[in-house]
A and B are shown apart, each in its own frame.
Chain A
Amino acid sequence: MIAEFGLAALWFAAALAFLQLLAGALALTGRGEGLGAVIRPVAVVQGVLALVAFGALLTLFAETDLSVKLVAENSHSAKPMLYKIAGAWGNHEGSMLLWVTVMGLAGGFVALVEKRLPEPTMQATLAGQAFVSLGFYAFLLFASNPFDRLSPVPAEGNGLNPLLQDPGLAFHPPTLYLGYVGLSIAFSFAIGALVTREVGPAFARAMRPWVLGAWIFLTLGITAGSYWAYYELGWGGWWFWDPVENASLMPWLAATALLHSAGVLAARNALRAWTVMLGVVAFSMSMVGTFLVRSGILTSVHAFAVDPKRGTFILALLAIYIGGALTLFAIRAATVTEGERFAVTSRESALVFNNVMLTGSLGIILMGTLYPLVTEAFGEKVSVGPPYFNPVTAIFVVPMLIVLAIGPLLRWRRDNVKRIAPMLAIPAVLAVLALGAAIVLAPGRVLPIIGLALAPAIAAASVLPLRGRKLRQVKLPLWGMVLAHLGVAMALFGMASDSAFTTEKLVAVRVGDVTPVGPWSIRVAAVEPIAGPNWTALEAEMQASYEGSAPVVLRPQARTFWAPPQNTAESALHTRWNGQLYTVLGDQAADGRWQLRLWWKPFVPMIWLGGVLIALGGLLALLGRVASDVRRLVVRDRIAFRRERQGR
């Protein structure tokens, strides 16, 4: 019953999305005067119905209703409740349903609260949102129905991949999806503004909170995903340039660029066409990312061919949305009037430079991710991996980081280099000192040396915008920028430090043996069997002592899951202020010795702390913007109220 109920809700939601699109189109072309008023309520109800459908799917997973195909294929009655529920979005159909649900809710929210833009622009925006949703509804209903029944009903489900049975990963996909969907709202705003030729500061201000919100979630999602890969895969790697990772990085790069150019548009009424273009690109990257990951095409062209129906559907949707948006942009870009002008040495120019560099790195990563597909189509398989991506993206990122340090010190419109030169003395000196130290400590490793040299300088430069200000009077968005840039410096330092200074130790030991790794000495005290809800494991007790101090205990496990059967290594980590000790228990050799993998990674947690700091900066900026929007709204209401009373 619940499955059919969910499916019905999904059909109704799709029908309402169609109505929303139709009403918007008619109202905008002047053929349906009264219809314009329908759009907002329809958008709200559509969102609620999508939520109902998703709620039905959650219920099915919570109850482990094995008569539903999706549940049987991805769940198991013996799974902990958290992973039963997370299993609802840990698969293709469920994640697509989650996507439309969040998109519907976000659209409904916009319909409820956004009152700043001219009504036709809002109608166009919501119609655009409905148009995007409709594609996803069609994809769900025709090519990936999450509510399909299964007959005969199996006695037990297949279970969820044990690697995914981890709290971090339970919330990783929803976080990314919130980001993607936020960008879909930005996209709809861009379409609405293009259709009604209202590209200006008001559009940028309406769009900005959504871009900020999306960007915060993407930042958190990427950070969490990277940390998950780091501790769960058991080899201490935190970024693999895997197509799936690139699929989340590309929208982030576009969103970062969009965020900054929307800022310019809101504050200075410049970069109009560029902002709209980035709005289109950012969401296009979200779709390309999700769809390519979900279709399986990235692992291999053959995985794609296994299910051609889904694949063709996906390609058609991508072509319609991206192609359509770019066509609209091409038609309307010429009519977007020129924005405000600015000088070469100005904050706008610095932001333009960084936007170009971000977009350049995005282009290269897109190319590197898709290129193996191209060569495979020509019958030759090649791999494009870290040795390609690291140096090539550095070409774009390194100049960008330098400008990131300088840009915030520049004034809007026109500035002069002599004014800011003295301020940059401290970061410059730091960079030279750090460069010298890095060359001595990590000889011959070019990229880590550049990172180690730049990080302290960027950190110092990122707090410079606060100089000479009363800290209590500094507005939230400025704090946000300072924190986010500081986070960039921190993450950069962690990355460079990890590749420059990590110590690795692979050993086979007997219980009681002591192994040194970096400043640590590690003694294996015991190896014992242990059982969990759906796994058994061998757990080692390791006593790790840092430079002879009192030992801390780490308990890495080698787990064996039985549904589905799979072995995983659960690493155990110990974090200090100056780094992380990483321990993994491997197999037992024939002679009874245990394989251990041990790493001492100086300052590696700064990668993810930096990521969190970046997101926190975004949050402060968002709070600041929303608060001032609310204030403006309250003032406007009061003025309107007074006028009304005086009128009487």
Chain B
Amino acid sequence: MRRLGLIIALIVGALALGPLAFAPARADDAMPPAPYAYRQLDDPKLEEKAQRLMETIRCLTCQSQSIADSDASLAGDMRSQIRQRIAAGEEPEAIRAWLVERYGDYITYTPRVTSLTWPLFAAPLLILLVAGLLLRKRFVRRRLMDGEGL
């Protein structure tokens, strides 16, 4: 199952990325993990940039883990992709946009504001507003008061 996933992932990766993904890889039977799946970038600044992005990309074959927290081969391939693209000078948000374009919004843990997701962002403000109004109602009247109706 795992190997099958790896093969599919590699094929998908090959089709998608062509020379970039496969330049360092050898066509060998053991199907080694992608070059930067378990290898950090030499420049710590770039590695941190990559790391921060990887922590917000969902591993599609795991349950609720980011690709930075997963042994799944697909996650390894994506880590490798992200590290290589960061090393090539791409901006994290550009890579995220590219991933979203390929895999859909599901892949990013940072939901975008869309016609469907705006309540997610309005809710904290709304809750704060309601909480603020409730507290204000009680606290602005500088009289003794009760705590009912909160």
Report A's interface with B, CB cutoff 8 A.
233-235, 237, 240-244, 264, 270-274, 299, 336, 338-344, 348-349, 352-353, 355-357, 360, 363-364, 367-368, 371, 375, 378, 380-388, 392, 395-396, 414, 504-508, 567, 569, 586-587, 589-590, 595, 597
A78 to B134, CA, bound (A): 59
5 contacts between A and B (CB under 8 A): A271-B147, A341-B144, A371-B111, A384-B111, A506-B39
Given contacts A388-B110, A414-B144, 10 further A-B contacts (CB under 8 A): A274-B148, A336-B148, A352-B135, A352-B147, A381-B106, A382-B117, A386-B55, A396-B124, A504-B51, A586-B38
Collect the chain A residues with CB atoms within 8 Å of residue B134's CB: 356
Chain A residues with CB under 8 Å of B127's CB are: 360, 363-364, 396
Tell yes or no: B84 within 8 A of A by CB: no
Contact B144 A371 (CB under 8 A): no
Considering the chains assembled together, what is the distance between the CA atoms of A243 and B64 in angstroms?
8
Does B66 have its Cβ within 8 Å of any Cβ on chain A? yes
Q: Chain B, interface size: which category? A: 35 or more
Q: Provided the pairs A338-B146, A348-B147 are in contact, do residues A384 and B120 lie with their beta carbons within 8 angstroms? A: yes
Q: Nearest chain-B residue to A393 (Cβ)? A: B124
Produce 1/0 per residue, B98-109, CB < 8 A to A.
000000111111
Tell me which residues across on chain A come within 8 A of B150, comparing CB atoms.
271, 274, 352, 355-356
Q: Say whether A597 contacts B38, CB under 8 Å.
A: yes
Beta-carbon contact of B144 and A388 below 8 Å = no
Query: With the chains together, A506 CA to B76 CA distance in Å?
Result: 12
* Chain B interface residues toward A at CB < 8 A: 2, 28, 30, 32-33, 38-40, 51, 55-56, 58, 63-66, 68-71, 104-111, 116-117, 119-120, 123-124, 127-128, 131, 134-135, 138-139, 142, 144-150
The docked-state distance in angstroms from the alpha carbon of A233 to that of B70 is: 8
CB distance from B78 to the nearest CB of A (A): 14
Q: Which B residues lie within 8 Å of A274 (CB)?
A: 147-148, 150
Shortest beta-carbon distance from B145 to chain A in Å = 5
In the complex, A23 Cα to B88 Cα: how many Å?
A: 75
Question: By the criterion CB–CB under 8 Å, are B109 and A353 in contact?
Answer: no
CA distance A272 to B127 in the complex (A): 22
Q: Determine whether the beta carbon of A242 is less than 8 Å from that of B145.
A: no
User: Do B58 and A506 touch (CB < 8 A)?
Assistant: no
> Which of chain B's residues have a CB closer than 8 A to the CB of A264?
147
- A356 and B119 CA atoms in complex are apart in Å by 20
A445 nearest in chain B by CB position: B52
Measured between beta carbons, the chain A residues less than 8 angstroms from B138 are 344, 349, 352
Contacts of B148 in A (CB 8 A): 271-274, 336, 338-339
Return chain B residues, CB-CB under 8 Å to A344: 138-139, 142, 145
Q: Given A240-B69, A356-B135, A589-B32, A508–B110 Cβ distance below 8 Å?
A: no
Contacts of A348 in B (CB 8 A): 147
Chain A residues with CB under 8 A of B144: 341-343, 414
Nearest chain-B residue to A499 (Cβ)?
Answer: B55
Bound-complex Cα distance A507 to B37 (A): 11
Once the chains bind, are B116 and A375 in contact (CB under 8 Å)?
yes
A100 to B111, CA, bound (A): 38
For the complex, give the distance between the alpha carbons of A273 and B30 in Å: 66
> Out of A235, A299, A395, which one reaches B70, CB within 8 Å?
A235
State whether A385 touches B110 (Cβ < 8 A): yes
Q: Does B69 lie within 8 Å of A233, measured CB to CB?
A: yes
Residues A504 and B40 in contact in the complex (CB < 8 Å), given A341-B144, A367-B123, A383-B107: yes
In the complex, chain B residues whose CB is within 8 Å of the CB of A237: 65-66, 68-69
CB-CB < 8 A to A343: which residues of B? 144-145
Among candidates A384, A395, A414, residue contacting B124 with C-beta atoms closer than 8 Å: A395
Most chain A beta-carbon neighbours within 10 Å: one of B38, B105, B147, B150: B147
- How many angstroms from the CA of A375 to the CA of B68 in the assembled complex? 25
Contacts of B39 in A (CB 8 A): 506-508
Measured CA separation A381–B65 after assembly (Å): 16
Contacts of B120 in A (CB 8 A): 367-368, 371, 384, 388
B111 & A382 in contact (Cβ 8 Å cutoff): yes
- CA of A531 to CA of B35, assembled, Å: 31
B28 proximity list for chain A (CB < 8 A): 590
**Residue numbers in A under 8 Å from B40 (CB-CB):** 504-506
Bound Cα distance from A120 to B4, whole angstroms: 64
Q: B46 CB to closest chain A CB, in angstroms?
A: 14
Query: What residues on A are CB-neighbors of B51 within 8 Å?
Result: 504
CA distance A505 to B119 in the complex (A): 40
The smallest C-beta distance from A374 to any residue of chain B, in angstroms, reads 8
Chain A residues, Cβ within 8 Å of B142: 344
Complex-state Cα separation, A608 to B9, whole angstroms: 37
In Å, the complex CA distance between A504 and B47 comes to: 10
Query: In whole angstroms, how far apart are the Cα atoms of A525 and B76 in the complex?
Result: 27
Q: Which of B30, B131, B148 has the most CB of A within 10 A?
A: B148
| Complex alpha-carbon distance, A385 and B108, angstroms | 8
Q: Which residue of A lies closest to B39 (CB)?
A: A506
User: Given B33, B65, B71, B147, which contacts A569 in the complex, CB threshold below 8 Å?
Assistant: B71
Given known contacts A375-B117, A382-B106, A382-B117, A242 and B64 CB-to-CB distance under 8 angstroms: yes
What is the CB-to-nearest-CB distance from B122 to chain A, in angstroms, rounded to a whole number?
10
Q: Which residue of B lies closest to A348 (CB)?
A: B147
Q: Of B64, B111, B146, which one neighbours A340 at CB under 8 angstroms?
A: B146
Distance in angstroms between the alpha carbons of A392 and B106 in the assembled complex: 20
B72 CB, min distance to chain A CBs, angstroms: 11
Q: CA–CA, A382 to B134, complex, Å?
A: 33
Chain A residues near B58: list those with CB within 8 A. Answer: 383, 385
